[in-house]
Amino acid sequence: MARLDSANLARARETIALYPHPRSALVPLCHIAQEQDGWLTPEAVEHIAELLGLTPAEVEGTASFYDMLHTEPVGRYLVGICTNIACLLAGGYELLEHAEDSLGTPVGGTTPDGTVTLEEVECIAYCDRAPCAIVNYRFFGPLTGADFDRLIADARAGRLAEDVPAHGTLNRVRRDGGLRVPADEVATQRAASDQARSERAAARPAGGAA
């Protein structure tokens, strides 16, 4: 359980500098913390709050809104089985039941070895490969029960390392150019935006709108 380590703290500070307002970096910082520990630890939530000038409750409130952010520990592999219409018609619920039996854990649970967390998910836009599943947000389908078992065995044996990154990794290649804006330009825009906000506030009639 950790605050951001020095490398991730540097990434966090670079990320904050990209936005006119520090709090705009909240979700990206949550992803950095999740990539580090696999989930958002309470210590990381506190650290993010400190960096952004927010309260831990504000960070937690935002993080708990998004399905892709986890405020409780999850397995090394986050496995989601789709049961929306195309997958339902193609056996999505049967696949989900098979997964529960095969993994020995209900939906929402994690295998005793901490390897796999099982989820039921909405359409993942892979309908032409129904019934399908995601493993750490990488797509697999169509899957029979036997295919699913093979997939999990491959994941556990490390044979999916090329295709499936560790949980929490959104991208394996980091942007180091392109949209980057010089820090002084960000500072100028931030100051202009703060001033415009003050002017709007000053121009507002006292006592609120009629």
Considering only the stretches 8-16, 21-29, 62-70, 82-90, report the one whose residues sit in contact with ligand FES under the rule CB under 6 A. Answer: 82-90
Q: Could you tell me which stretch among 19-27, 33-41, 57-65, 123-131 binds ligand FES (CB under 6 A)? A: 123-131
Residue 120 Cβ vs ligand FES, minimum distance, rounded to whole Å: 11
CA distance 114 to 76: 7
- Rounded distance between C-alpha atoms, residue 142 and residue 91, angstroms: 10
Tell whether residue 87 is a contact of ligand FES (CB under 6 A).
Answer: yes
CB of 83 to ligand FES, least distance (A): 7
Q: Which of 126, 133, 160, 164 is the binder for ligand FES (CB under 6 A)?
A: 126
Q: Is 82 in the site for ligand FES (CB under 6 A)?
A: yes
Residue 142 in contact with ligand FES, rule: CB under 6 A: no
Instruction: Report d(CA 166, CA 7) in Å as an integer.
Output: 18
26 CB contacts (<8 Å, ≥6 apart)?
48, 52, 54, 59, 62
Pairing of strands 133-135, 77-82: antiparallel
CB nearer to ligand FES: pick between 113 and 122: 122
The stretch among 11-19, 85-93, 188-196, 200-208 that binds ligand FES (CB under 6 A) is 85-93
Residues of this chain that interact with ligand FES (CB under 6 A) are 82, 84-87, 123-127, 130, 132
